[in-house]
Structure 1
Amino acid sequence: MMNIYQKLIEVRKAIPYLQKGKKGDQYSYVGSSQVLGAIRDELDKQELLLIPKIVDKRILTETVENKDKYGNQKKRTTYFTELDLEFVWVNAENPEETLTIPFYAQGVDIAGEKGVGKALTYAEKYFLLKQFNIPTDESDPDAFQEKVESSKPPEMITQEQKDEIQSLAQSYVELRGQGDVKTVLTALNVMDINKIQKGEADKCIFQLKRWVAKLQKESA
């Protein structure tokens, strides 16, 4: 049975990316339902419960007077709700195993009765996005993955590739009857075999195999 941390990691593995699916007045964004929809199935699979607790709340009001289009004086009150929260993860397979994470949220409302609900919705969405390190982007998932791959450091030549290059170069020298391995590597533009990337090593191996095959055919 996995512990709660291992289960959270499995959830993170399952949700690598979310594309912005909603349009606002000026920008695209990821909606709360989109985040919950992407994560809920995996939470059920891992038997994890998330319980939000309101630890403290503060409601500030601001009243502004202005005129409507008819010239009548009107007052408008804005309610600014702040919540101090705790999100509690519970491992349903072992309910005594929990993980509590503090969080903060805010919600702005004009009527006054929706401030807490807006703050909770805001908190749940951003808590899950940050908890599982879920990136959001306007581009498609494939483009995002390419961006991630391009930011990774290049893979360097493996020991197996080094051995194969050295062996093929030696075979080429023996079949040709002159030169040495260093000369062959220079012909491949390899100045230091330890500093070439994995992809370049594959190209060198392919070229060496062609050279060796050609000499073997000529000497047959």
Structure 2
Amino acid sequence: MIELNIYQKLIEVRKAVPYLKKEAQGKQYNYTGSSQVLSSVREKMDELGLLLIPRIISKQVSESAIEFIGDNGHVTKRTITYFTELDLTMTWVNADKPDETIECPWYGQGVDIAGEKGVGKALTYAEKYFILKQFNIATDKDDPDAFQEKAEQYRKPEPITSKEIGLLKTKVLEFATLREKSDTDVYKVLGVADVTGLSSKEAKEILAKLTGWITSATKELAKKEKKGA
């Protein structure tokens, strides 16, 4: 079994979770919850032996008072909102080689009314968004199939291989001979001006088309020869 380094392990985790559907519901919108994000990578991290260790570098808490005014113009209620900001480092550790680590500076924030949960909320916020950004996990409103289609559109197409070029030219010549046409005529019908400018996917589609044409042309020729005999 090939032993992966820490970077290769992180890539394997990224491959495992390309997309997360927004399942948690707020008052006005759906969102991706922290537990959903963590559970999506936990199994793969355990399998590969990856640890993520957060460490708080500094903390800042600011207070903001909110007053509620009644119909009589007097203050009926007063609350204090605590806004906690954390500067952290998120450290990846390869459990198979503990000296192999990657340290990333990060930031977290949390809002709380009671005051005692600010740090916890900020840590949860930091961990959730760190994982989403570390592994480039998409959280579009689209379904996973639609996301995959988008990813395919954005991905640069693979160029045609030399093997595919040779095979395509052979098929074109074979079909041209069967139809008593030139290879230029066949390329014109296929809409191909330059074989080398095709992508691998386009080449495969054209090869499939040519194979069908050759099969049909061969059958037609066999029938004619049978009648002539």
2:57 — aligned with what?
55
> Which residue among 110, 120, 124 is the counterpart of 2:113?
110
2 CA distance for matches of 1:6 and 1:185?
44
Mapped pair 1:87 → 2:90: yes
Tell me how far 1:69 sits from its aligned partner.
6.7
2:80 — aligned with what?
77
2 CA distance for matches of 1:76 and 1:169?
79
1:19 — aligned with what?
21
2 CA distance for matches of 1:112 and 1:83?
15
> Which residue among 27, 30, 45 is the counterpart of 1:28?
30
Residues 171, 212 of structure 1: 8 Å contact kept: no
Residues 170, 181 of structure 1: 8 Å contact kept: yes
Look up the equivalent residue of 2:41 and give its one-letter code.
Answer: I
Mapped pair 1:159 → 2:162: yes
SS in 2 for 1:99: strand
Residues 88, 108 of structure 2: 8 Å contact kept: yes
Residues 58, 86 of structure 2: 8 Å contact kept: yes
Segments of 5+ residues of structure 1 without an aligned counterpart are: none
Residues 53, 92 of structure 2: 8 Å contact kept: yes
Residues 16, 134 of structure 1: 8 Å contact kept: yes
Identity %: 49
1 CA distance for matches of 2:137 and 2:161?
32
Number of corresponding residues:
219
Mapped pair 1:171 → 2:171: no
1 CA distance for matches of 2:214 and 2:115?
75
SS in 1 for 2:96: coil
1 CA distance for matches of 2:159 and 2:91?
43
SS in 2 for 1:166: helix
Residues 168, 209 of structure 1: 8 Å contact kept: no
**CA-to-aligned-CA distance 1:165-184 (integer Å, 9 cap, x gap):** 332333344445x4322123
Mapped pair 1:204 → 2:206: no
1 CA distance for matches of 2:9 and 2:175?
53
2 CA distance for matches of 1:188 and 1:173?
12
Tell me how far 1:71 sits from its aligned partner.
6.0
Look up the equivalent residue of 1:48 and give its one-letter code.
Answer: L
Q: Measured at CA, do residues 214 and 123 of structure 1 come closer, stay the same or move farther in structure 2, by a change above 3 Å?
A: same
Q: TM-score, normalised by structure 1?
A: 0.88
Q: Measured at CA, do residues 151 and 21 of structure 1 come closer, stay the same or move farther in structure 2, by a change above 3 Å?
A: same
SS in 2 for 1:218: helix
